[in-house]
Amino acid sequence: MSLLGGNDLKEQQKINELELKINREKQKLDKKLTRQKILLGAFLVDALEKDEIHGLKEYTAKELPVFLTRRTDRELMKDLVEELGGVMKKEDCPKNEYL
């Protein structure tokens, strides 16, 4: 009986090690994706500040308020939207949570 229990223990230990490895890989991927998003955001902010891409400011000012669904995100980005010439309209805000 102890021989079978020993194999079960080894198998469970192997499963635990594999799950740990999977979780580490997921964390690495999450960090990579977050870094990509940050760099893309920095790139777009730079383009907005330099006004290098025709229509980007207008598009961002118009579409960003619609894209943002969380009240805290809308509060965070309100000044930027207004600086670009946009407005956080009541109808853009989900459930009429106007700022």
Whether residue 47 is found in the same domain as residue 1: yes
Tens of pLDDT, residue by residue, the chain (99 residues): 455 567 888 999 999 999 999 999 999 999 999 999 999 999 999 999 999 899 999 999 999 999 999 999 999 999 999 999 999 876 666 655 555
Whether residue 77 is found in the same domain as residue 46: no
Q: Which residue segment(s) compose the domain that 74 sits in?
A: 54-99
Whether residue 3 is found in the same domain as residue 13: yes
With CA atoms as reference, report the closest residue to 48 among 60, 40, 36. Answer: 60
51 Cβ contact partners less than 8 Å away, ≥ 6 residues apart:
57
Whether residue 2 is found in the same domain as residue 44: yes
Rounding to the nearest 10 degrees, give the CA dihedral for residues 32, 33, 37, 42: 10
Whether residue 38 is found in the same domain as residue 64: no
Q: Does the reported pTM lie above 0.75?
A: no
Distance CA 70, CA 13 (A): 42
Whether residue 15 is found in the same domain as residue 4: yes
Whether residue 1 is found in the same domain as residue 43: yes
Whether residue 72 is found in the same domain as residue 43: no
